[in-house]
Amino acid sequence: MVSLQFITHQTDRYTCFESALMALEGGCKWIQLRMKEAPCEEVEAVALQLKPLCKEKEAILILDDHVELARKLEVDGVHLGKKDMPIDEARQLLGESFIIGGTANTFEDVVQHYRAGADYLGIGPFRFTTTKKNLSPVLGLEGYTAILSQMKEANIELPVVAIGGITYEDIPAILETGVNGIALSGTILRAEDPAEETRRILESY
């Protein structure tokens, strides 16, 4: 079964919380609570609601950006990008038991996160997406192939999650490049039944 990280998103139809519930209902075992526009208190309230539900379903819960909150709420980890707290600083604060993911768009980003002690890499975007503003350059399949081959050459062994504009049909070719998992948001939330779409993805790949 493909390793799937679901990225929460608020849409016309769903709140971030509802989006996470549907992914969990569909069998997703890894939720990233990403509430870009929300104040910290709101993220905290949603995370507090989500934490027991993830626990019940044996799903990992990580927060996008909010290191201090992840520590306070004792969720499983955080995902950090270029504009967030540096990974080595987050590691100091969180210790070894928290999962820390780092965003990479180039091999240089990979090396930096590897040295800083990241547990996994979110590499993207695969293609253009409206889920995130200020996107880095699109990588396509070639981008993943190139970065993964540079990682192999440099003996950098870190799980890689592909992200950004990925749809159901893209998944086999992306996995063929050697990535370890995928992160999805829009393709699940645009489906008529997002829980069913999550299940379809997990049962197909």
Ligand X SMILES: Cc1ncc(COP(=O)(O)OP(=O)(O)O)c(N)n1
101 binds ligand X (CB under 6 A): yes
Tokens of 144: 């993943």
Q: CA dist 110 to 28, 82, 136, 154, 196, Å? A: 26, 12, 14, 11, 34
184 binds ligand X (CB under 6 A): no
Burial of 185 (C-beta count, 10 Å sphere; 0-12/13-18/19+): buried
Residues in the chain: 205
Cβ contact 45:20 at 8 Å: no
Residue nearest to Mg ion (CB): 81
**Closest approach of Cβ 81 to Mg ion, in Å?**
4
When the beta carbons of 39 and 56 are compared against ligand X, the nearer one is 39
Burial of 121 (C-beta count, 10 Å sphere; 0-12/13-18/19+): buried
Exactly one of 8, 31, 35, 65 binds ligand X (CB under 6 A); that residue is: 65
Query: Residue 161's binding partner, choosing from ligand X, ligand TZP, Mg ion, none, with beta-carbon cut-off 5 to 8 A by kind?
Result: ligand X
Question: Which residues are near ligand TZP by CB under 6 A?
Answer: 7, 124-125, 129, 131-132, 163-166, 184-187
Radius of gyration of the chain (CA): 16
Query: Residue 185's binding partner, choosing from Mg ion, ligand X, ligand TZP, none, with beta-carbon cut-off 5 to 8 A by kind?
Result: ligand TZP
Query: Residue 129's binding partner, choosing from Mg ion, ligand X, ligand TZP, none, with beta-carbon cut-off 5 to 8 A by kind?
Result: ligand TZP
Residue nearest to ligand TZP (CB): 186
109 binds Mg ion (CB under 5 A): no
Burial of 180 (C-beta count, 10 Å sphere; 0-12/13-18/19+): middle
81 binds Mg ion (CB under 5 A): yes
Binding site for Mg ion (CB under 5 A): 65, 81, 84
